[in-house]
Amino acid sequence: MLHIMKVAIGIHDITYLKNIKNNKYHDYVLTRFIPKQADEILKNESLYRIINGNLCCRQKIIDFVSNTRKMVIPVYKFYLKLKLSLLFLLQCDLFKNDVI
């Protein structure tokens, strides 16, 4: 199984993230690099959110879209389902990219 973990910068807790999601029509995350196994991730995988060093929730990945920022820097958008699936709080070591 392949999943993607992203640090939620500027998000204090799950309720704050939910409030942001409720005010959007769709949700996406920007990244500079597309995964090497993008086709496998699109089949049935998720993006996991890390908030304050804890693995908190996941969202189903719907699609990847190539885009450019300021007409120079290539970026990719991960389109996600708005529904957040909450997890038990797991401490995550961000530098080792591993769950403790």
pLDDT of 33-50, one tens digit each?
A: 877 787 788 887 888 888
Both tokens of 44, joined, read 């049935």
Q: Where are the domains of the chain?
A: 4-90
Both tokens of 83, joined, read 């529904």
* Domain 4-90: which CATH number of 2.30.130, 3.40.50, 2.30.30, 1.10.287: 2.30.130
Mean pLDDT for 26-35 is: 79
CB 47 within 8 A of CB 64: no
Q: Which residue has the higher pLDDT, 38 or 97?
A: 38
Q: Which residues on adjacent β-strands are paired with residue 67?
A: 75
pLDDT of 40-92, one tens digit each?
A: 888 878 888 888 888 888 888 888 888 776 767 778 888 888 888 877 665 55
pLDDT of residue 32: 82
Both tokens of 91, joined, read 């401490």
What gap in Å lies between CA 89 and CA 14, rounded to an integer?
A: 11
What gap in Å lies between CA 46 and CA 43, rounded to an integer?
A: 10
> Parallel, antiparallel, or unpaired: how do β-strands 27-31 and 73-80 relate?
antiparallel
pLDDT of residue 92: 58
